[in-house]
């Protein structure tokens, strides 16, 4: 597999809506979905080449051979990575956030509870009243956001904010060319100069080369693409500021190899008859059972099927999951897309594998590596179903415990 790393910079306000708004406020997502990225490149392809080479178009945009990943906000510091925070991570409701978010404020921190019991309330020492230690005791809650970390270091994590603002518009009357009475609406958009990074994955070298040549290395490389809503009204222009070939797998680079991560989850031992591993969604996933009913979790039987392991060897121990309804618009057909249920990014699952020693555990590691490379579920070429095995953040994000 070949990976193309992309950095894009917002040049005109960006609106990335993921559902039809009820009411008159349209909110934007704070990342660029693979679906939007694929659509933008497909539109650009058609304007450059038309449909003269239909097979190539199909291979680029309608097969699983090219996968357009989500683009997440760029990190503040070079060398850091930005990931969605797992749902298993909780923060104090009273003093929420990562400790490094704002050193001037009292913040109790964020901890991950996939591998440990969730306490009833925040146990941070809050204030000293008359020499007495007072514990915070505020409830814990999830903290949906992107966090920034340096590989191997989960003590200095920080929330990543995306700059956004609102603008108010009125609809224009077609006949009188003035504001239509009673129709006022508000759009939320991502600010200019925000940067996003992500990957496009190619199954073969030749596909990567022809894609790179067409869009980035030709005599007239593309200077911009249009993404999101209101593209004809001065919005949605982004420029590709960087496109380079990534040499190592993305998750191995940011989180270590699968073997290293599994070892860390099992006290460094692989020669036992039972080992633990986790699966964490890096992007939303669409998963169905045999009867095409949407699932809101990743059940044992599906993991066994994906890893090609005989049944009842894997047991699910814990799951932190959230889901939502996804709708969309098919620009080519001019029709709404069918609503789908997606499991939200950040959902985390913990399993045990009952093998028979090191050899079988090593086979499991190989199967998990393959799963991480190919992802899970439907619409993977639009960035759905990217999955991380044994994310170290579950082991090392422990800010709340450190304040005790």
Least distance in angstroms from the C-beta of 103 to Zn ion: 17
Which span sits near Zn ion by CB under 5 A: 39-47, 74-82, 91-99, 182-190? 91-99
Shortest separation between residue 347's beta carbon and Zn ion, angstroms: 25
Six token digits for residue 342: 């997606």
Nearer to Zn ion, 122 or 393 (CB): 122
CB distance 395 to 115 below 8 Å: yes
The closest alpha carbon to 286, from 337, 331, 236, 325, belongs to 325
- How many positions of this chain bind Zn ion (CB under 5 A)? 8
CB of 105 to Zn ion, least distance (A): 12
Our CB check for Zn ion shows the closer of 72 and 95 to be: 95
Contact between 325 and 339 (Cβ < 8 Å): yes
To the nearest whole angstrom, how small is the minimum distance from the Cβ of residue 318 to Zn ion? 23
Sole window of 94-102, 193-201, 237-245, 266-274 interacting with Zn ion (rule: CB under 5 A): 94-102
Asked if residue 99 binds Zn ion (CB under 5 A), the reply is no
Q: Residues 90, 143: contact at Cβ < 8 Å?
A: yes
What would the x/- binding string for Zn ion be over residues 229 to 268, using CB under 5 A?
A: ----------------------------------------
* Unique residue bearing structure tokens 């994906």: 306
Distance, in Å, from the CA atom of 283 to the CA atom of 261, rounded to the nearest integer, reads 20
Q: What is the β-pairing status of strands 25-26 and 179-190?
A: parallel
Please, what sign has the CA dihedral across residues 331, 335, 336, 342?
negative
Measured from the CB atom, the residue of 118 and 172 that comes closer to Zn ion is 118
> Applying CB under 5 A, does 326 fall inside the site for Zn ion?
no
The tokens for 186 are 């508000």
Residue 153 to residue 149: CA distance in whole angstroms: 7
- Per CB under 5 A, 92 contacts Zn ion: yes
Rounded least distance, CB 398 to Zn ion, Å:
14
The least CB distance from residue 113 to Zn ion, in Å, is 15
Question: CB 126 → Zn ion: shortest distance, Å?
Answer: 7
Task: Determine if 107 is a binding residue for Zn ion (CB under 5 A).
Answer: no
Q: How far is the CB of 234 from Zn ion (least distance, A)?
A: 45
Residue 307 lies near Zn ion (rule: CB under 5 A): no
Stretch that binds Zn ion, among 6-14, 88-96, 142-150, 354-362 (CB under 5 A): 88-96
Give how far Cα 84 sits from Cα of 22, 240, 241, Å: 26, 22, 23
- Extended beta strands in 235-355, E state: 237-246, 274-281, 314-320, 323-326, 329-330, 335-336, 340-343, 348-354
**Which stretch, 95-103, 110-118, 149-157, 323-331, contacts Zn ion (CB under 5 A)?**
95-103
Long-range CB contacts (within 8 A, 24+) of 53-62:
56/210, 59/207, 60/207, 60/211, 61/381, 62/381
Please identify which residue in 16, 89, 122, 222 interacts with Zn ion, judged by CB under 5 A: 122
Name which of residues 124 to 153 contact Zn ion (CB under 5 A).
124, 136, 138
Q: Check residue 108 for interaction with Zn ion (CB under 5 A).
A: yes
Q: CB of 121 within 8 A of CB of 34? A: no
Task: Give the nearest distance from C-beta 136 to Zn ion in angstroms.
Answer: 3
| Binding stretches for Zn ion (CB under 5 A) | 92, 94-95, 108, 122, 124, 136, 138
């Amino acid at each position: 597999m070949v990976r193309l790393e992309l950095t894009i910079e917002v040049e005109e306000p960006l609106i990335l809506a993921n559902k039809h708004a009820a009411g008159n406020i349209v909110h934007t997502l704070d990342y660029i979905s693979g679906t939007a990225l694929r659509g933008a490149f497909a539109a650009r392809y058609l304007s450059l080449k038309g449909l003269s080479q239909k097979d190539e178009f199909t291979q680029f945009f309608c097969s699983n051979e090219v996968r357009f990943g989500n683009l997440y906000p760029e990190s503040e510091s070079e060398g850091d990575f930005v990931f969605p925070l797992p749902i298993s991570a909780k923060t104090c409701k009273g003093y929420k956030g990562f400790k490094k978010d704002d050193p001037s404020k009292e913040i109790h921190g964020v901890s991950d509870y996939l591998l440990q019991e969730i306490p009833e309330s925040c146990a941070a020492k809050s204030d000293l009243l008359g020499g007495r230690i007072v514990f915070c005791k505020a409830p814990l809650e999830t903290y949906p956001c992107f966090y920034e970390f340096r590989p191997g270091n989960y003590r200095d994590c920080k929330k990543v904010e995306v700059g956004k603002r609102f603008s108010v518009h009125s609809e224009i009357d077609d006949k009188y060319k003035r504001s239509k009475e009673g129709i006022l609406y508000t759009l939320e958009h991502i600010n200019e100069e925000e940067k996003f990074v992500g990957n496009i994955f190619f199954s073969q070298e030749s596909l990567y080369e022809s894609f790179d040549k067409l869009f980035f290395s030709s005599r007239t490389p593309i200077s911009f693409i249009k993404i999101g809503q209101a593209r004809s009204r001065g919005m949605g222009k982004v420029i590709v500021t960087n496109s380079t070939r990534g040499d190592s797998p993305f998750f191995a680079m940011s989180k270590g190899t699968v073997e290293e991560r599994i070892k860390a989850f099992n006290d460094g031992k692989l020669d036992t008859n039972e080992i633990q591993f986790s699966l964490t969604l890096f992007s939303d996933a669409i998963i169905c059972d045999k009867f095409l009913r949407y699932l809101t979790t990743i059940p044992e039987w599906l993991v066994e099927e994906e890893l090609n392991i005989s049944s009842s060897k894997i047991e699910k121990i814990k799951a932190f999951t959230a889901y939502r309804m996804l709708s969309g618009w098919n620009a080519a057909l001019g029709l709404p897309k069918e609503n789908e249920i997606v499991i939200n990014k950040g959902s985390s699952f913990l399993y045990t594998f009952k093998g028979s020693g090191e050899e079988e555990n090593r086979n499991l590691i190989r199967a998990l590596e393959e799963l991480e490379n190919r992802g899970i579920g439907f619409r993977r070429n639009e960035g759905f179903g990217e999955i991380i095995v044994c994310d170290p953040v579950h082991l090392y994000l422990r800010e709340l415990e450190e304040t005790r």
